Amino acid sequence: MHKPSDFHHIPKLAALMTPFPHHIDIDSKVETAQQLMEQYQVRHLPVTRDGDLETIISLSDIERANAPGHRLDEQQLYVRDLCADRPYIADIHDPLDKILLAMAETGIGSVLVMREGELAGIITVSDALRFCGEYLAKLAEPIDDSIA
């Protein structure tokens, strides 16, 4: 990461996205999505239909559905039953500030990042917070004024 004083422009989404995220088919069982999330230690999975990006599902979506009173124990749920109706999608070249502000203003937890019409990555609130924390840590580092 560059020293913050070296930034002469706002970083693009590629600076903090998780590239090539694992994904799941929309007709998969919710249990399969939860197992993938546990296996890969992620909280969001892009959802595809016939290989094309459709939407996203989060661990929070699954936890809400499994909460007492929200579903019948014998009812089989599929990813299509829980995934977001309209995911937030951005282009890999979009300015980071605009996307982070949109996430904060709308309360969305993730953004699907596209490059030339294909899924390139995902940005989550955790990614954004990690990036900001690292940025602030770099900002606090003393500047070495010595000449090498």
Contacts 24+ apart (CB under 8 A), 43-49: 43/109, 43/124, 43/126, 44/109, 44/110, 44/122, 44/124, 45/21, 46/21, 46/112, 46/119, 46/122, 47/23, 47/79, 47/80, 47/83, 48/23, 48/24, 49/25
pLDDT of residue 85: 83
Residue 19 lies in a domain: yes
Taking only the tens place, the pLDDT of each residue in 51-95 is: 899 999 999 999 988 887 766 555 789 999 998 888 999 999 998
Residue 5 lies in a domain: no
- pLDDT for 148 beyond 60: no
pLDDT of residue 3: 53
Q: What is the mean pLDDT of residues 36-47?
A: 95
- pLDDT for 45 beyond 90: yes
Q: What is the mean pLDDT of residues 103-107?
A: 93
CA atoms within 13 A on the CB side of 132: 11
Q: Name the 3-class secondary structure at 85.
A: coil
Residue 1 lies in a domain: no
Task: Say whether pTM exceeds 0.75.
Answer: yes
- What is the number of domains present in the chain? 1
Q: Can you give the CATH number for the domain in which 79 is found? A: 3.10.580.10
Residue 114 lies in a domain: yes
Can you give the residue range of the structural domain that contains 113? 10-140
Distance of CA 85 to the CA centre of its chain: 16
pLDDT of residue 38: 96
Which amino acid would we find at residue 80? R
Measured between alpha carbons, how far is 122 from 99 in angstroms, rounded to an integer?
Answer: 12
pLDDT of residue 143: 74
Taking only the tens place, the pLDDT of each residue in 5-41 is: 555 667 788 888 989 889 999 999 999 999 999 999 9
Measured between alpha carbons, how far is 40 from 132 in angstroms, rounded to an integer?
Answer: 23
Residue 36 lies in a domain: yes
